[in-house]
Amino acid sequence: MHFFEDVDGNFVEQFQTTAFDARFSELYLFALLTEQRMIFDRSYPAPDFVCEGLTGSLFVESVTVIPSRRGDIVVEPMRAILRNSSSTSRITCP
């Protein structure tokens, strides 16, 4: 059985407090790579996973997207374009 090695020393603390999503995604990637029978080299501080498999080496950095700390609403660019184009490109018939 493979076990997740906490190379940063702060995994449990972050998992239980401010970085649950980021740490959960790391666990998910670890499980995925383990199922693919990757061999891990955890001697590096970054990226999160340095692996060796049947097809070669693989370097993986786990990232997550979190909301803005300021709370500003970010308008999706495509939605704004579509909203503007639909209101200005209407054709009216007499």
pTM for the complete prediction?
0.65
50 neighbors 40 (Cβ within 8 angstroms)? yes
44 neighbors 81 (Cβ within 8 angstroms)? no
In the chain, at which residue ranges do the beta strands (DSSP E only) sit? 39-40, 49-53, 56-60
**pLDDT range class, residue 66, cuts 50, 70, 90:** confident
**pLDDT range class, residue 90, cuts 50, 70, 90:** low
Of 94 and 17, which is predicted with more confidence? 17
pLDDT of the residue at 86: 55
23 neighbors 14 (Cβ within 8 angstroms)? yes
CA–CA dist 52, 27 (Å, integer): 18
CA–CA dist 72, 77 (Å, integer): 15
pLDDT at 76 over 90: no
